[in-house]
Structure 1
Amino acid sequence: MNISINVTEQTDEQVKVAIAGEIDAFTAPKLREKMEPFSLQEGITLIVDLSQVNYMDSTGIGVFVGLFKGMKSNGGHLQLIGLSDRLKRLFDITGLADIMDINPEVKGGVE
């Protein structure tokens, strides 16, 4: 049950973050703590690379829903990239793929 969260690029307008490991009830609080400050910034685009995430449960979904809402309320934009088929399906069956910017085809966009 490990997770790593690395900011790989940051400008005034855009932040790129690479996440690796598992997102579950144990690691979700760490993810939320690390990501929440970005949702409070005005008008930024946050690009989150999930290509190295091998497992995510509903607590992980909850973190991304909160992040999405925070970003949107501050005029920002959240994009999730590099999702495996399994993660993409998780967002599809919850209906979140219809409202969030999810681009599973972009792989390794964040180093």
Structure 2
Amino acid sequence: MTTRRQADGAIVVELRGTLDAATVSSVRAELLTSLARGRPRVLVVDLTFVTFMDSMGIGALVAAHEAARDVGGRVRLRNPSEFVHRQLRVTGLSDLFGLPSGSPNSRSYRF
């Protein structure tokens, strides 16, 4: 996991591997700490290298969303795999994180 601030003030947290019971506490802590310390308008969670995410991982993202809202910011997800995107669609959370609710055939939502 790496964290950096972009020139526009957004904080980017790049996650790798699996987002599940074994890793979720450190991921949640990093996301919440980044929001509390940096108070960014946008926290970008880059999921390019996340291969699996379960309900606990989704819970960490929702906790980050709520914390961002509390400081006047928002969380946006970047580059989820088809599996991760499907998990978010099934739970009805893709719109919450700025992802299209349909299947990402063209991957045009990547930024």
In the aligned structure 2, how far is the partner of 1:29 from the partner of 1:47? 18
Give the secondary structure class of the aligned counterpart of 1:99: helix
RMSD of the alignment, in Å?
A: 1.9
> Which residue number in structure 2 is paired with residue 26 of structure 1?
22
Greater strand share, structure number: 1
- What is the identity percentage for the equivalent residue pairs of Structure 1 and Structure 2? 28
Counterpart residue number, 2:103: none
Q: 1:74: which partner in 2?
A: 71
Is 1:102 the equivalent of 2:105? no
| Structure 2 counterpart of 1:92, one-letter code | R
Report the residue type matching 1:73 in the other structure: D
Deviation track 1:23-46 (CA, whole Å, cap 9, x = no partner) reads 110100010111111232435211
Q: Number of residue pairs matched?
A: 103
Alpha-carbon separation, structure 1, partners of 2:60 and 2:68? 12
CA contact (8 A) 1:44 1:76 kept: yes
One-letter identity of the residue aligned with 1:100: F
TM-score of the aligned structures, taking structure 1 as reference length: 0.81
Range with bigger deviation, 77-86 or 41-50: 41-50
Deviant stretches of 4+, over 2 Å: 8-13, 38-44, 102-105
Q: Which runs of 5+ in 1 are unaligned?
A: none
User: 5+ unaligned residues in a row in structure 2: which ranges?
Assistant: 101-106
